[in-house]
Amino acid sequence: MYSMFSSTIAAISTPHGKGGIAVIRVSGDEAISICEKFVFPVNNKPLSSLPANSAFPVNITYEDGVLLDTGIASVFRSPKSFTGEDTVEISCHGGIVVTKEVLTRALVCGAVMAGPGEFTRRAFSSGKISLSQAEAIGNIIDAKSSSSIILSNRNAQGQLSRYTDKIYNDTKEVLSEVYAETDFPDEGLSSMSKEEMKERIKSIQKELESLLSTYKTGKAIVEGIPTVICGKPNTGKSTLLNLLCREDRAIVTDKAGTTRDIITESVVCGDVTLNLSDTAGIRNTIDEIESEGVKRSLKQMENSDFLICVFETVSFDSDDELIIEKAREMQNKGSTVLIVLNKTDLNPNPDTSKFEDFKNIVEMSTKNDSHYGKICETINKLFLDEQLSDISHPVLTNARQKASAAKALESAKSALQALDESTIDVAGTELEGVMTSLGELDGRQVGIEIVDDIFSRFCVGK
């Protein structure tokens, strides 16, 4: 029977399909002994005699000894392996059938099928990597841009973990002084005055604020920003979508109301990833189908973090006023709004007086391919922090990390307030809250449900 962390697991770790090679990974206490039953080094030595961290040509056989394939086997011994367990990685020819046959041999010989992300989960559970490192590995696999790869690799190498470790340890030092003061007030065991404690907590607060400020950029690069292209019919919304996609993703005609439903696409614009939705043109209409499209457009705007509002520069009417009102409402709720004044080829000097409430405006022609760089540069300036070009600065990349850091910051602020109010025991409780939240961020004290959810997003074999 399968038991997480006690069974030896196996899976195909390369994409399914035809290719030059495929890799079958086997990990667990019995990985080497299981593989010895069907993987035989060509030097006639048993697999168990091969030195760790080495690779050797092997024959892979069926149960009756008939050759199944030839390949390379790499042996890694606990604890110096990715999972922290004994691991064998078998490289065979990358045919669909032969790969499945090699995996089947591993399962028949005693391994069980790995679950999604189980190899990485075992690495986390054995202390080889932190939770943020595990998330970064998943981000590398899912990366849509070179910027995402670079940023994810920084976290995979432990940059975020080291930063939060420092804050955690700084908090622990202050907390120990608080405990000394509250538990033994007359003994003078605390080496910090209350003012020194406050200064240390202020420093912790500043570090957490700095970390939280990175999320906007981290999300823009790694997860992508929920983005809606909106406007009245025939302003060039679909043309803008096609420009950003660098292909004809949406139908473009001179007839208003062509787009009746929401078209979605994920695109990389410079260093920023946009999860784009091109919506139906917003206007008052008696057409039942188009009216439903308008309702969906307005709902999609409500759920977006970034609105790209497209207006044509040659005309302006009540439908445009409706969109401006909605954009202003969303901007007040915290969404980022970019006003695109389109069709400058027809009107190179558009009137911008109606957009005084919006600071992000770009004038362009969506039909002009050379304007692609112009709008990408504008979008990058909205979401990327130039300070984060410093490769030593850690970056938050998902909402879970942000939520944990935000809770830690609130606890730090409460601890500082408690010291101001001379309730040092409350300050101790709040400092414990800082450490708990940081533990959730990097996996020291994270709940099993969160861990299950994170690794369920991984592919089988990773």
pLDDT digit string, tens, across residues 284-343: 555 556 566 667 777 778 888 999 999 987 778 888 888 888 889 999 999 999 999 998
pLDDT for position 172: 93
Compare 418 and 346 and report the one with higher pLDDT.
Answer: 418
Confidence of residue 3 (pLDDT cuts 50, 70, 90): very low
Query: Reading across the β-sheet that carries 112-113, which strands appear in turn?
Result: 39-41, 54-61, 67-76, 87-94, 19-27, 9-12, 112-113
pLDDT digit string, tens, across residues 38-69: 999 999 999 999 999 989 999 999 999 999 99
Residue 180 has pLDDT above 90, yes or no: no
When pLDDT is averaged across residues 248-265 and rounded to a whole number, the result is 53
> Which residues, 6+ apart, have CB-to-CB distance to 69 below 8 Å?
59, 60, 92, 93, 98, 101, 102
Q: CATH says 9-114 is which class?
A: alpha beta
Cis peptide, bond prior to residue 57, ω within 30 of zero:
no
Confidence of residue 184 (pLDDT cuts 50, 70, 90): low
pLDDT digit string, tens, across residues 423-439: 888 999 999 999 999 99
- Show the tokens assigned to 310: 């497209």
Residue 1 has pLDDT above 50, yes or no: no
Q: Which of 71-75, 223-227, 250-254, 266-270 holds the top average pLDDT?
A: 71-75
When pLDDT is averaged across residues 380-394 and rounded to a whole number, the result is 77
- Show the tokens assigned to 3: 């038991």
pLDDT for position 109: 97
End-to-end CA distance of the chain: 22
pLDDT digit string, tens, across residues 6-27: 799 999 999 888 899 999 999 9
Parse the chain into domains and list their residue ranges.
Answer: 9-114, 135-214+394-456, 220-384
Confidence of residue 256 (pLDDT cuts 50, 70, 90): very low
- Show the tokens assigned to 379: 């979008």
Confidence of residue 251 (pLDDT cuts 50, 70, 90): very low
The percent of residues above 70 in pLDDT, for the chain, comes to 89
Mean of all residue pLDDT scores within the chain = 87
The percent of residues above 90 in pLDDT, for the chain, comes to 58
CATH topology of domain 220-384: Rossmann fold (3.40.50)
Question: Matching CATH topology for 135-214+394-456 and 220-384?
Answer: no
Residue 258 has pLDDT above 60, yes or no: no
> Which residues, 6+ apart, have CB-to-CB distance to 438 below 8 Å?
164, 167, 168, 171, 404, 405, 408, 444
pLDDT for position 462: 82
pLDDT for position 290: 57
Q: Are 217 and 269 in contact (CB under 8 A)?
A: no
DSSP conformation letters of 93-160: EE-HHHHHHHHHHHHHTT-EE--BTHHHHHHHHTTSS-HHHHHHHHHHHH--SHHHHHHHHHHHTTHH
Q: CA–CA separation, 286 vs 167, rounded Å?
A: 59
pLDDT for position 83: 95
> Which residues, 6+ apart, have CB-to-CB distance to 270 below 8 Å?
376, 377, 379, 380
Closest CA to 375 of 326, 334, 342, 346: 342
Query: What is the CB neighbour count within 10 angstroms for residue 436?
Result: 16
When pLDDT is averaged across residues 250-254 and rounded to a whole number, the result is 43
Phi/psi-derived region of residue 158, left when phi > 0, alpha when psi is between -120 and 50, beta in every other case: left
Query: What is the CB neighbour count within 10 angstroms for residue 458?
Result: 21
Is the domain defined by 135-214+394-456 classed in CATH 3.40.50.720?
no
DSSP conformation letters of 169-190: HHHHHHHHHHHHHHH-TTTT--
When pLDDT is averaged across residues 441-459 and rounded to a whole number, the result is 83
Residue 187 has pLDDT above 60, yes or no: no
Q: CA–CA separation, 368 vs 446, rounded Å?
A: 50
pLDDT for position 191: 66
